[in-house]
Amino acid sequence: MSQASTTAVAPASSLPFEHWLASRGQRAEQALEHLLPPAAAHPARLHEAMRYAVLGGGKRVRPLLVYAAGEAGGAPAAALDRAACAVELVHAYSLVHDDLPCMDDDVLRRGRPTVHVRYGEALAMLVGDALQSLAFEVLAAAPAHGTSASATAAMVAELARAAGSTGMAGGQAIDLASVGAALGREALEDMHRRKTGALLRASVRLGGLCACGDGAAPTEACARRMQALDRYADAVGLAFQVVDDILDVEGDAATLGKTAGKDAQRNKPTYVSALGLDAARRLAGQLREQAHAAIAPLGEAARSLAGLADLIVLRKS
Amino acid sequence: MSQASTTAVAPASSLPFEHWLASRGQRAEQALEHLLPPAAAHPARLHEAMRYAVLGGGKRVRPLLVYAAGEAGGAPAAALDRAACAVELVHAYSLVHDDLPCMDDDVLRRGRPTVHVRYGEALAMLVGDALQSLAFEVLAAAPAHGTSASATAAMVAELARAAGSTGMAGGQAIDLASVGAALGREALEDMHRRKTGALLRASVRLGGLCACGDGAAPTEACARRMQALDRYADAVGLAFQVVDDILDVEGDAATLGKTAGKDAQRNKPTYVSALGLDAARRLAGQLREQAHAAIAPLGEAARSLAGLADLIVLRKS
Q: Provide the residue ranges of all domains of chain A, joining segments of one domain with +.
A: 11-314
pLDDT at position A309, please? 97
Closest of A84, A214, A61 to residue A138, by C-alpha:
A84
Dump pLDDT digits (tens) for A180-213.
Answer: 777 788 898 899 999 999 999 999 999 999 988 6
Contacts of A134 (CB under 8 A, 6+ apart): A35, A36, A50, A89, B160, B164, B165
Q: Report the residue of A48, A102, A129 to disrupt the B interface, i.e. the one with the largest count of B CBs within 10 Å.
A: A129
Q: Do A167 and B133 touch (CB under 8 A)?
A: yes
If one looks up domain A11-314 in CATH, what number appears? 1.10.600.10
> Per this entry, what is the length of chain B?
317
Cα separation, A27 vs A307, in Å, equals 18
Residues of A in contact with B154 (CB under 8 A): 140
CA distance A299 to chain B (A): 33
pLDDT score of A3 more than 60 = no
Dump pLDDT digits (tens) for A127-177.
Answer: 999 999 999 999 999 888 888 888 999 999 999 999 999 999 999 999 999
Q: Which residue of A has its CA nearest to B131?
A: A164
Which band of pLDDT confidence, cut at 50, 70 and 90, is reported for residue B12?
low
- Among A171-180, B100-109, B119-128, B266-275, which is the least confidently predicted range? B266-275
Task: Name the strand (E) or helix (H) holding B108.
Answer: strand B108-109
Class of domain B15-314: mainly alpha
> What global pTM score does this model have?
0.92
- Among A16-20, A95-99, A104-108, B269-273, which is the least confidently predicted range? B269-273
Residues of B in contact with A139 (CB under 8 A): 156
Torsion angle defined by CA atoms of residues A108, A113, A116 and A119, in that order, rounded to the nearest 10 degrees: 180
pLDDT at position B18, please? 95
pLDDT score of A263 more than 80 = no
Please report, rounded to a whole number, the percentage of residues in chain A having pLDDT higher than 70: 89
- Among A11-15, A278-282, B248-252, which is the least confidently predicted range? A11-15
Q: Report the residue of B126, B131, B159 to disrupt the A interface, i.e. the one with the largest count of A CBs within 10 Å.
A: B126
- What is the average pLDDT value for chain A, to the nearest integer? 90
pLDDT score of B157 more than 70 = yes
Closest of A213, A133, A201 to residue A162, by C-alpha:
A201
Q: Do A42 and B170 touch (CB under 8 A)?
A: yes
Residues of A in contact with B165 (CB under 8 A): 37, 43, 46-47, 50, 130, 133-134
Q: Do A154 and B173 touch (CB under 8 A)?
A: no
Rounded to an integer, the average pLDDT of A232-241 is 95
Q: Report the residue of A51, A117, A133, A190 to disrupt the B interface, i.e. the one with the largest count of B CBs within 10 Å.
A: A133
pLDDT at position A236, please? 96
Residues of B in contact with A133 (CB under 8 A): 132, 160-161, 163-165, 167, 169
CA distance A28 to chain B (A): 21
Contacts of A260 (CB under 8 A, 6+ apart): A247, A248, A249, A251, A252, A253
ipTM of the complex: 0.92
